[in-house]
Amino acid sequence: MQLSLITMRLGVSLSFAIGVTQAEYIIQDSYNATNFFNEFNFFSDKDPTDGFVAYSNAASANSSQLAGYLDQGVYLGVDSTTVDPAGGRGSTRVESKKTYTHGLFISDIAHMPESTCGVWPAMWTVGGDWPANGEIDIIEGVNTDTTDTITLHTSPGCNMESTGSIATSTLSTTDCNAGPATAGCSLTTKSPFGTGFNAAGGGVYAMEWTSATIKVWHFTRDAIPADITAENPNPNTWGPPVAAFSGSGCSIDSHFQKHQIVINTTFCGQWAGRVWDNDETCSKLAPTCDAYVAANPQAFESAFWQINSVKVYQANMAGGAAKRAQPFSG
């Protein structure tokens, strides 16, 4: 696998959405191999989820080829050579320099970390004051998971319904309070994650965030809507989302504010490590998740992200400026 080093460049397409009934989306930011590493920071502090991981800074990730370019995409990988790494297995976590409140976020992904014992990859958005500013987990799973789990995390006082989600998605709880177990409100989906996603040639995940709802769609590589390819996305034509969170029990604007886009791969920790004993495949490999990850670097050769683009769009009222009511005459 030929991997070019970071030259510190970047490009993305992202877009915001105001909670309006009729909206057209205009591209605001586009992140890809031309500008990605200029527009995202590397997080190198201790893992907040207590993972067996050592996140690399930009210089280290570049020199050790944990980050760079692969087949014209952005590459974010992990250490797959070191046995018993002190302090955790080397990995990458990047966070957008810009923050967003509302938007249509469209991520074209060629490859995500495989469904491998010990891994916990995620693509998500999060506010600076957690959990008060909220968290939206768009792509997430652990160990041998083959389907995506989509989760919202908030401070107390946010209860969501999943009305409008595709029938095959299952809501775990309506209470999105992060709480002591940091569970949030999760939708278990049938959308491919990890190995199955990669086998299908990757695809697109799209997240729409407005004042009224938070929705997520998944499209396989051969079924990406033409309007996404044309950078003129219209979610109203995409059919039911795999996840749709809404309801009168939560003020989205009060609980979700100023989010960064985050992409990372950690190991074990509060999720992959916590459920290790319950995974029939993984629990046979080692007594603990940490022990397995430390001793088996070769297992993580395919634990990498290859990202074609992340695009953010901003919502405009259809037909131009928003219309305002005229005063009535008495």
pLDDT of residue 315: 92
Q: How confident is the model at residue 180 (pLDDT cuts 50, 70, 90)?
A: low
For the ranges 16-20, 241-245, 308-312, which has the lowest average pLDDT? 16-20
Give the residue from 319, 309, 296, 329 showing the smallest Cα distance to 27. Answer: 309
Query: 135 catalytic, yes or no?
Result: yes
* CA–CA separation, 233 and 27 (whole Å): 9
- 24, 39, 95, 135: the catalytic one is 135
Report the CATH number of the 4-317 domain.
Answer: 2.60.120.200
Annotation marks residue 24 as catalytic: no
Among residues 140, 231, 280, 301, which one is catalytic?
140
For the chain, give every domain's residue range: 4-317
Q: Residue 75 above 50 pLDDT? A: yes
Confidence check: pLDDT of 323 > 60: no
Q: What is the pLDDT of residue 178?
A: 82
Q: What DSSP element (H or E) covers 293?
A: helix 289-295
The answer to whether the pTM exceeds 0.95 is no
The letter for the amino acid at 317 is M
Give residue 21's pLDDT.
44
Closest to 272 measured CA to CA, from 141, 181, 78: 141
